[in-house]
Amino acid sequence: VLTFDTDEIVYSRTTKEISFPVRKPSKREVEEGAEYFANPLNFDENGNALDWQAKAKAKHTLKVVNEDDFYNGRVSVLRIGKLLFFTAPVELFTEYAKRIVARFPENPVIDIQLTNDSLGYLPTKEAVEHGGYSTFIFSTVTTPEGGEKYVGEIMELLKEQL
């Protein structure tokens, strides 16, 4: 934590590692990944995938099965005067950012995304249930539980700045 005060401005900053749970594929997703690569109809005569998203999903699904259960991402919060900043090693779904900003109505709050790392999107539970590119297993390292953990940790760090 770095802090200094002058008559004109208050500045403080904190940096922390957050352990994000790694999104693991379901048994069905692993089976689908293996089936994708086993089916020659998914590739042209030169062996190129006909659908890059399907290939990326299958490849990533098979890759993360044996990876670690958690991935550490560094975050920072910063106060300059009344301004509050927070960083994210992900691209936040709007719902998360709005919850954080709403918690500090007396302060302008600014998020800075994809800093220190790129864990992809940080989808909500509802988004994962509805599907879409930003919720595909190859588009995000973590789970909606990781999103909830991130929001809680960032709000605590921002509160400490006030």
- pLDDT tens, position by position, 128-151: 899 888 888 888 889 999 999 999
pLDDT for position 64: 80
pLDDT for position 78: 96
Model pTM score: 0.81
Give all strands (DSSP E) within 81-129, no chain letters.
83-88, 91-92, 109-113, 121-122
Kindly give the parts of the chain with pLDDT less than 70.
1-7
CA 34 to chain centre: 26
Identify the burial level of 27 via C-beta atoms within 10 angstroms of its C-beta, where 0-12 means exposed, 13-18 middle and 19 or more buried.
Answer: exposed
CA separation, residue 86 to residues 1, 15, 95, 100, 111 (Å): 14, 10, 15, 10, 5
pLDDT for position 1: 64
Q: Which of 130, 129, 66, 122 is nearest to 99 (CA)?
A: 122
**For residue 157, what is the enclosing H or E element?**
helix 144-161
Instruction: Using DSSP, state whether 121 is helix, strand or coil.
Output: strand
Instruction: Using DSSP, state whether 6 is helix, strand or coil.
Output: coil
Give residue-wise pLDDT tens across range 62-75: 888 777 889 999 99
DSSP 50-77: S-HHHHHHHHHHHHHTTS-SEEEEEEEE
